[in-house]
Amino acid sequence: MCGITGIIGPECARPDIEPTIRRMTALMAHRGPDDEGFFFSSEAALGFRRLSVIDLATGRQPIFNEDGSIAVVHNGEIYNYRDLRDELVARGHVFVTQSDAETIVHAYEEFGDRCVERLHGMFAFCVWDSKRRRAFLARDRLGKKPLYYARSGPNLVFASEMKVIFASELVRPGIAFDGLSDYLTYRFYPSPETPCPGVEKLPPAHTLVFENGEAAAERYWRVTKLAKRSGSRKAIEEEIVGRLRRAVQRRLVSDVPLGLFLSGGVDSSVILAIMADLMKEPVKTFTIGFDMGPRYEEFEYAEEVARLFGADHTAMRITATDFLGALPRIIWHLDEPVADSATVPMYFIAKLAKQKITVALCGEGSDELFAGYARLFMYDFKRHRAKRLLRMLPEFTRGPAVQRLIQAYLPSYAGKIEFLSRPIEEDAVTSMGDYFTAEEKRVLLTDAAFHAAGGKDAYRFLREYLAAYPGSRYLDRKLLVDLAYWLPDNLLIKADRATMAHGVELRVPFLDHEFVEYAFTLRDELKIHRGQGKYVLKKAFEGILPRHLLYRPKMGFPVPLAEWFRGVLRENLREILLGERAARRGIFNPEAVKDVIDRHIREEKNLAGHLWILLVFELWCRIFIDGEPYETMQLL
């Protein structure tokens, strides 16, 4: 893993372009603490920070083709680089390093823009073709590696992190209000949106060509095979184990120490079982938790599975003080507001792991392939039983007057009835974003902010994406939306930033694109069976992992925000969200924010997720809009 940046266009002829690119590159030193490299011409300037993982001796970037006319800066790993290298050598290409990045240069020479179709791995890169005077940028299929870009007149600016684009001084930070409205719905910014006007994320599975002052993005991959395969469950279980084993094996290629983030849940335990079988030395495993009791840690289960496979295990507990003390630094690393509180434990587990390893594997991605989220367990119920139950209710109970009475006196039932009444096709789109509703945003936002947001449909990106899958099955639609937006724009952003903050490369075996394509050919009943998610994955590993580990309730990375916001962090929360600085922004109505805080503290409803959305956004504004140094921010 590394950090890349660059400017393409006439701006590169400026006499101060070199110090500009060096300044931009230095902002990513945490992504690549081992080395740096640069390229300068009158039309292109590239910067690179390196985290040495493969070919420690000769893998410096930028890397060039034989005559120096094509250069690449690359962030990530190409897992099939050895096979691809052999093919390219046979076609006459000459390699001068053992680096996986060099395969990109020669693959571009040989296959042109379709070279991305030959790459197996996680990547974000820029190829500068000086003869054709064009830049070719690409991001991997699932969005594991980030890539931001912006236009400034006839120039293109790009970087692994958005803050680096601001350091070019060609683009300045601001607030994109249409994106803010979407953030309040999802708690993240769906690609290509970012919080700043003029800056975009290149979506996963896209390339971007910048030529003659024009930029054109194009999708090069999507899941296309949704037809369900036949075969016995036993045969499918064996194939899952074999395919996942190959995915893990590809991700064990490293010239530096590697290990595993272990929660003790199904996904990371499955990866540990495979790693322990493939590796000669004990797997180094790491677990994080909070000092709030067993509801907020999985130490017992993680230690059990670590002992089972002879792992070298390390665990750590963090406190509310640790949490709040690290928060400004974490938000600076995040670059954009991503209000997933699991970012914090991910940050601390990466910090812990860096003491022993440079590369970590994790179990991310399984839930999006095998229907592991509780919100998907309602699929069977809603699909097969809910309509019958609703038909049993008298017609008058579905009228607006009765609905208002239920909302007023039985609010806990109102949401359930609305969920069951919603058309199942619409539910596939809307269930991913369920934080601030359109009505709540109208109250929360000031008139000026509300009108600036433009009233766009928050689900427009999801509808456009699913339009490519007419007639697809309900569960496929739910999982496809998660794969296209929830995964890259929330889970993988937080994972990249939290780990790269400490110079740790994170690898995700479940998101091997061939394994992803395979998972979408599995029948619905193999994923959700009698209210049990990830059914066939658990069955596949029954003989390898204990049943009580496989079938215990999912925890994820639980963070005690609800308790902290009612207790030790209550006054901090009020001070930040209701203070003069927040009010001066003119974005949120103070009375509406106070109402959200008060309702949570009175335990009328758990609104910790809503408050976290507002808190993260305000702290982001202080750092990126106000310019307050995160190093000096005192939240305690």
Residues 273-318: pLDDT tens digits? 999 999 999 999 999 998 877 777 788 999 999 999 999 999 999 9
Check residue 471 and give its pLDDT: 80
Same domain, 100 and 198: yes
Task: Assign residue 262 the CATH number of its domain.
Answer: 3.40.50.620
Whether 293 maps to a domain, the answer reads yes
Check residue 376 and give its pLDDT: 76
pLDDT surpassing 80 at residue 1: no
Distance of CA 247 to the CA centre of its chain: 19
Distance of CA 407 to the CA centre of its chain: 35
**How far, in Å, CA of 613 to CA of 619, rounded?**
10
Q: What length does the chain have?
A: 636
Domain termination site, one of 185, 219, 253:
219
Whether 377 maps to a domain, the answer reads no
Check residue 409 and give its pLDDT: 53
Rounded to the nearest 10°, the torsion over CA 143, 147, 151, 157 is -160
Identity of residue 536: V
Residues 549-602: pLDDT tens digits? 999 887 767 789 999 999 999 999 999 999 999 999 999 999 999 999 999 999
Tell me the average pLDDT across 492-502.
97
Identity of residue 363: G
User: Quick one: DSSP state of residue 605?
Assistant: S
Tell me the average pLDDT across 392-400.
58
Same domain, 111 and 169: yes
Whether 150 maps to a domain, the answer reads yes
Check residue 151 and give its pLDDT: 97
Nearest to 481 by CA among 240, 73, 190, 161: 190
pLDDT surpassing 90 at residue 416: no
Check residue 255 and give its pLDDT: 86
- Residues with Cβ within 8 Å of 293's Cβ and at least 6 positions away in sequence, in order, are none
Count of structural domains within the chain: 3
Q: Where are the alpha helices (DSSP H) in 279-319?
A: 299-308
Which tokens in the block code for residue 442? 């109208």
Same domain, 544 and 577: no
Domain residues for the domain of 176 are: 2-219
Same domain, 212 and 98: yes
Integer CA distances (angstroms), 578 to 286, 323, 572, 592, 598, in order: 38, 21, 10, 10, 12
Same domain, 319 and 182: no
User: Quick one: DSSP state of residue 588?
Assistant: B
pLDDT band per the 50, 70, 90 thresholds, residue 86: very high
Nearest to 56 by CA among 254, 222, 215, 294: 254
Whether 451 maps to a domain, the answer reads no
**How far, in Å, CA of 122 to CA of 500, rounded?**
14
Whether 439 maps to a domain, the answer reads no
Distance of CA 386 to the CA centre of its chain: 33
Same domain, 43 and 150: yes
Three-state DSSP at 199 gives strand
Same domain, 129 and 177: yes
pLDDT surpassing 90 at residue 539: yes
Lowest mean pLDDT among 403-407, 549-553, 576-580, 617-621: 403-407
Enumerate the β-bridge partners of residue 312.
Answer: 284
Residues 513-522: pLDDT tens digits? 999 999 999 9
Whether 436 maps to a domain, the answer reads no
**How far, in Å, CA of 455 to CA of 452, rounded?**
8
Whether 414 maps to a domain, the answer reads no
pLDDT band per the 50, 70, 90 thresholds, residue 418: low
Tell me the average pLDDT across 56-61.
80
User: Quick one: DSSP state of residue 532?
Assistant: B
Is the separation of the CB atoms in 485 and 334 below 8 Å? no
Same domain, 93 and 205: yes
Residues 587-604: pLDDT tens digits? 999 999 999 999 999 999
- Residues with Cβ within 8 Å of 571's Cβ and at least 6 positions away in sequence, in order, are none
pLDDT > 90: percent of the chain: 78
Check residue 572 and give its pLDDT: 92
Neighbours of 420 (CB within 10 A): 18
Nearest to 565 by CA among 556, 574, 557, 578: 574
Q: Which helix (H) or strand (E) holds 322?
A: helix 320-334
Whether 400 maps to a domain, the answer reads no
Same domain, 273 and 358: yes
Nearest to 270 by CA among 525, 546, 527, 506: 546
What are the start-end ranges of the E strands in 284-339? 284-290, 312-318
pLDDT band per the 50, 70, 90 thresholds, residue 179: very high
Same domain, 30 and 175: yes
Place of tokens 């406190």: 319
Could you tell me the pTM of the whole model? 0.92
Domain termination site, one of 493, 522, 550:
550
Check residue 243 and give its pLDDT: 98
pLDDT band per the 50, 70, 90 thresholds, residue 118: very high
Same domain, 193 and 239: no
Domain termination site, one of 520, 550, 580:
550
**How far, in Å, CA of 47 to CA of 38, rounded?**
5
Same domain, 250 and 356: yes
Task: Assign residue 65 the CATH number of its domain.
Answer: 3.60.20.10
Tell me the average pLDDT across 600-613.
95
